[in-house]
Chain A
Amino acid sequence: MSPPTDDPVLRSARREALVVFAAWLAAMAYTVIYCYRNGYDRPKESLTFVLGFPDWVFWGIVVPWSVCVVFSFWFGATFMKDEDLGEELPEQEDELGLGGG
């Protein structure tokens, strides 16, 4: 008997989840650190604008948000794999007592 192997959906879901966690950590680290270093406790005379936004909001929030939108498009359109989710367990054939009505 061959050793059990991971379900392909489990394998791809795990790989995708790791990439998502990395993206979340990167977005959080950049945004919070950038905004804290450049957007906190400044005198009002130092305020400049980029495309109408206060400078720190533009570079610390608008830019990473835009990058995340592009990343999400890439992730959803190409990186995430389509899989067969399998047959639904018929409600009356619940032999393992796993659910159904």
Chain B
Amino acid sequence: MISSFAPQLAASVADTPNVGFGTLAALIIFILASMWIGMLANKAMSAGTFMKGFFLGNRGLGAWALALTATVQSGGTFMGFPSLVYTHGWVVALWIAGYMVVPITGFGVLGKRLAQLSRKTGAITVPDMFRARFNSPTLGLTASLFIMFYMSFMMVAQFKSGALVMKLAWPSSGTLALSEESAAFELTTENLNKLDLPADVKEKLAAMVDHPFNKDSEIKARLSELLSKQELEKHEKQILNAAQPIDWLFLIGLGIFTLTVVGYTLLGGFLAAVWTDLFQSVMMLVGVVVLLFLALSAVGGMENATNTALEKTGPGFVFGPGYDPKGEGRVYLPLGLAFSFFWVWVYSGLASPAGMVRVMAGKSTEVIRKSIFLLSGYNALIYIPLVIICVCGRALVPDLPPGKTDEIIPRLALLTTAKLPLGSFVAGLILAAPFGAVMATVSSYLVVIASGLIRDVYQRFINPQAGTHTLRRLSYFAMITVGLIAVAANINPVDYLQVIVVFSGTGAAATFCVAALMLAFWRRATVAGMLAAMISGGGTVITLYLLGIQGLGAETLIGPVSKFRPYFLLGVDPLLWGLALSLLAGIIVSLLTTPPDAALVSRLFDAEPVREVNS
């Protein structure tokens, strides 16, 4: 029986709350805190050699640092996930449910063995370990190239998120958008005059001057009303370019974000990345708990939240396969995808290159053990409350249109704190969490990409005798260059941010999961088998994405709405096919090729002989 009630606090999409100075103040505090952490890390890492200190923190990670940073995919947690809950409802709790086992799978399967092997081989990076375990430079280089490929996608997407959050924080920026569709079109008189167009065309265009359009499709529709077909064909591109204003707030945000994150990562390397990640993870937990309390108080309890949201939407909001806001017959989470996501989260966490290197940096097995239960508590406190918060969001702000649903967390933060003392600052702290999350993610990728270039390519193949001074300078140069490339790629920002993140995560998982398991546990694994496992796993995911982008399977309305979508062969995520082929190829090719060197395997798999001590 559904009761009818009125939430104690409700808002419409038309009531755009003001982003006050509190948000900007909170972001400035975040930036300063991150720089301070970078300086602390700089001091801490100077104890050992540069390479081991800068890229592995001298293997000194404690339980908190390991638990809250190795498998928490923080960049997307505060951005895409809330939007999904708001759009599709309670079924997203099933979509994310795989996280219930991520703490034990992330640390309990490979953790201990990777930590041991990296010590036995002296490996500093993941490719280092692949190379050393099989004594094969080819294998190390292949691993490195794959890692840099996936990480580059992630980096570009994350830089966009960082810049968007900065833009959001700007007081009276007029946008709450973490949304990817915030770019607007407006043809000003000045821009129209600059255009080299026939006078009669300019005359026709005068009817749309200074009129804002939210979407590409809207301005195109208006143009087709005003101009003839031939005029449109000839001039449309030129007019669209002129109508797209330079988004200064985005570009300034991009600049500040890049300077901050590259700056503190240069200062403190791996440790700076890990410590800021820990800092933001704690802030995120604080943000979620505060917002949970505020949202539940505002809506009058969970049951009321669900009932109101149900009235505003439909049964899909509380039952599977999820609410279909456009009413186009989309099945958001069919059985095949619900099953797939229990694999996606688990295997992306198990073998993500940034996660593996953190396990290698763990201080001891005690640290790995403690990380399991710390992360287990943390995940339960983040994900289920976030679902509840966004269900409350649907009840409190029921009418956000598709494309603007990323705004739900900022809107809730501003709405529920509006009447509190220091409300703007509290909202700011909640909103600073996504910024911190993105900074931490980018920072850790910067370290992984720079270590790939310097350690796995330069030091291994170009100049093995390079001294510390050269390595240090080149590492800094690599990080700055990667930062500049990411900025250049974002001057025209990428679309489909969240799906790119999922692509990189599942691609890396399909490439490295089976290979890492073979490396850790299978004596008979060979170099050819490892290469086959990596290439077939990664290749399968990439191929299925390419097929999906080409339009194959687009008529099957499952999964998220996006053009950057994979082909869901038999209705399951590409990761499952990638893992299956990787496993088959790895085993078959290993068994068909010459067994590995017995001495090498024995050194890494057999108990060390007891040494006699002569006193």
Chain A residues packing against B (C-beta within 8 Å): 4-10, 12-14, 16-17, 19-21, 23-24, 27-28, 31-32, 35-36, 39-45, 47, 49, 52-54, 56-57, 60-62, 64-66, 68-69, 71-73, 75-77, 80-83, 85-91, 94, 96-101
Query: In terms of DSSP, what is the predominant structure of the interface of chain A?
Result: helix
Assembled-state Cα–Cα distance A68/B319 (Å): 23
Q: Do A99 and B315 touch across chains, with their CB atoms under 8 A apart? A: no
Q: Do B94 and A61 touch across chains, with their CB atoms under 8 A apart? A: yes
> B200 contacts the other chain (Cβ, under 8 Å)?
no
Q: Do A23 and B301 touch across chains, with their CB atoms under 8 A apart? A: no
Q: Do A36 and B521 touch across chains, with their CB atoms under 8 A apart? A: no
27 A-B interface contacts by CB (under 8 A) = A6-B606, A7-B604, A10-B113, A20-B105, A23-B101, A23-B104, A24-B101, A27-B100, A31-B342, A35-B94, A39-B320, A45-B1, A47-B318, A49-B303, A52-B302, A52-B303, A54-B318, A62-B384, A64-B97, A64-B100, A68-B104, A71-B104, A72-B373, A86-B608, A88-B119, A98-B120, A99-B121
| Chain B: minimal CB distance from A54 (Å) | 5
Assembled-state Cα–Cα distance A54/B320 (Å): 12
Question: Taking CB as reference atom, which chain A residue is nearest B106?
Answer: A20
Chain A residues closer than 8 Å to B320, beta-carbon distance: 35-36, 39-41
Chain A residues closer than 8 Å to B608, beta-carbon distance: 7, 86
**B 588-609 binary contact with A (CB < 8 Å = 1; else 0):** 0000000000001011111110
Q: Do A9 and B606 touch across chains, with their CB atoms under 8 A apart? A: no
Assembled-state Cα–Cα distance A69/B302 (Å): 23
> B277 contacts the other chain (Cβ, under 8 Å)?
no
Complex interface residues of chain B between 7 and 65 (CB less than 8 A to chain A) = 49, 51-52, 59
Q: Do A9 and B112 touch across chains, with their CB atoms under 8 A apart? A: yes
Assembled-state Cα–Cα distance A17/B516 (Å): 13
Chain B residues closer than 8 Å to A69, beta-carbon distance: 100, 376-377, 380
Q: Do B315 and A80 touch across chains, with their CB atoms under 8 A apart? A: no
Q: Do B365 and A85 touch across chains, with their CB atoms under 8 A apart? A: yes
Assembled-state Cα–Cα distance A76/B131 (Å): 31
Q: Do A17 and B108 touch across chains, with their CB atoms under 8 A apart? A: yes
Q: Do A73 and B603 touch across chains, with their CB atoms under 8 A apart? A: no
| Chain B: minimal CB distance from A65 (Å) | 4
> B109 contacts the other chain (Cβ, under 8 Å)?
yes
Q: Which listed residue (A16, A65, A76) contacts B380, Cβ 8 A?
A: A65
Contacts A35-B94, A35-B338 aside, 11 further interface pairs with beta carbons under 8 A come to A44-B314, A44-B315, A44-B318, A49-B306, A69-B376, A75-B372, A77-B369, A85-B115, A87-B119, A99-B121, A101-B49
Chain B residues closer than 8 Å to A72, beta-carbon distance: 103-104, 372-373, 376
Chain A residues closer than 8 Å to B520, beta-carbon distance: 13
Contact A28 to B377, CB < 8 A, known contacts A96-B600, A101-B459: no
Question: Taking CB as reference atom, which chain A residue is nearest B103?
Answer: A72
- Size of the chain B interface, CB-CB below 8 angstroms: 75
Complex interface residues of chain B between 66 and 109 (CB less than 8 A to chain A) = 90-91, 93-94, 97-98, 100-101, 103-105, 108-109
**B 109-146 binary contact with A (CB < 8 Å = 1; else 0):** 11011011001111110001101100100000000000
Q: Which listed residue (B94, B100, B607) contacts A68, Cβ 8 A?
A: B100
Chain A residues closer than 8 Å to B339, beta-carbon distance: 28, 32
Q: Which listed residue (A6, A19, A85) contacts B605, Cβ 8 A?
A: A6
Q: Do B373 and A77 touch across chains, with their CB atoms under 8 A apart? A: yes
Contact A73 to B376, CB < 8 A, known contacts A42-B315, A85-B364: yes
Question: Taking CB as reference atom, which chain A residue is nearest B307?
Answer: A47
Contact A5 to B607, CB < 8 A, known contacts A32-B338, A87-B119: yes
Q: Which listed residue (A8, A36, A80) contacts B372, Cβ 8 A?
A: A80
Q: Which listed residue (B97, B100, B122, B338) contacts A89, Cβ 8 A?
A: B122
Chain A residues closer than 8 Å to B97, beta-carbon distance: 31, 35, 61, 64-65
| Chain A: minimal CB distance from B584 (Å) | 18
> B434 contacts the other chain (Cβ, under 8 Å)?
no
> B225 contacts the other chain (Cβ, under 8 Å)?
no
Assembled-state Cα–Cα distance A89/B51 (Å): 14
Q: Do A89 and B607 touch across chains, with their CB atoms under 8 A apart? A: no
Contact A96 to B135, CB < 8 A, known contacts A88-B119, A101-B459: yes
